[in-house]
Copies of this chain bind each other. A is one copy, B any other.
Amino acid sequence: MLQPESSPRARVPVDVRLNAIVDPAALGATPPAEAALEAVRGGATLLQYRDKSGSTRAMVSAVRAILAAVRGTGVPVLVNDRLDVALAAGADGIHVGQDDLPAADARRLLGPEAIIGLSITDAAEADGAGDPAVDYVGLGPVFATGSKADAADALGLGGTEAVARLIRAAAPGLPIVAIGGLGLANAADVIGAGTDGIAVISAILGAPDRRAAAAELRRAVDRALAETGR
């Protein structure tokens, strides 16, 4: 059955205002579930577990622990790249990069209820946001970052604004979360550049008080969104 062109997505938009990415490489001895819960208590609206070096079994354990920790909060828990880990742990979805599973394959394997995020790093990739399998876009890196070894070139605020426009054209209404080198100092700027929220690793995980750091970031995002009228 054809869907009316004006509503390609009937689902509730993903709340991307504060996307806390939990990477054990940035956590030291803290259990990922503890850090995730602190982030959520502070105001994170979306969690992503990202692990580029652990065993599959360790990843599944970590994601199960995170799901148990934040159960009842309503905050979705996604897994970076690894659909197998998401399935085994019962996560809410996955976030895929351009070298990961195509979003359409992920949708086919995860079903209609899963949340699927897609990384977009430049203008040439913006059309990918039009894939109906995609629920939100992670746009960046906005600035250079030490948290991701294989990150693409930084877009800067101007580049972020330009690519965000292209994403809006390809997928009106699709949430866009900015990522890369973001924190309190520049959260308002990237919201002003046309994004709907920020994704952070070190700004929360690296803070002495993760809950307080998340709360400050969330206030900055909410204030900036209110100022832009979004």
Contact with B along A91-127 (1 / 0, CB 8 A): 0000010111110010001000000000000000000
**CB closest chain-B residue, reference A100:** B56
Q: For the complex, what is the distance from the CA of A89 to the CA of B66, rounded to whole Å?
A: 29
Residues of B within 8 A of A101 (CB): 56-57, 60, 84, 88
A56-76 residues with Cβ-Cβ distance < 8 A to B are 56-58, 60
Q: How many residues of A contact B (CB 8 A)?
A: 20
Q: Would A88 and B109 count as touching, CB distance under 8 A?
A: yes
Instruction: Confirm or deny: A82 has a beta carbon within 8 angstroms of a beta carbon on chain B.
Output: yes
**Is A55 in contact with chain B by the CB < 8 A criterion?**
yes
Interface residues of A (CB under 8 A from B): 55-58, 60, 81-85, 87-88, 96, 98-102, 105, 109
Nearest 3 CB-CB pairs, A to B? Answer: A55-B99, A83-B84, A84-B84
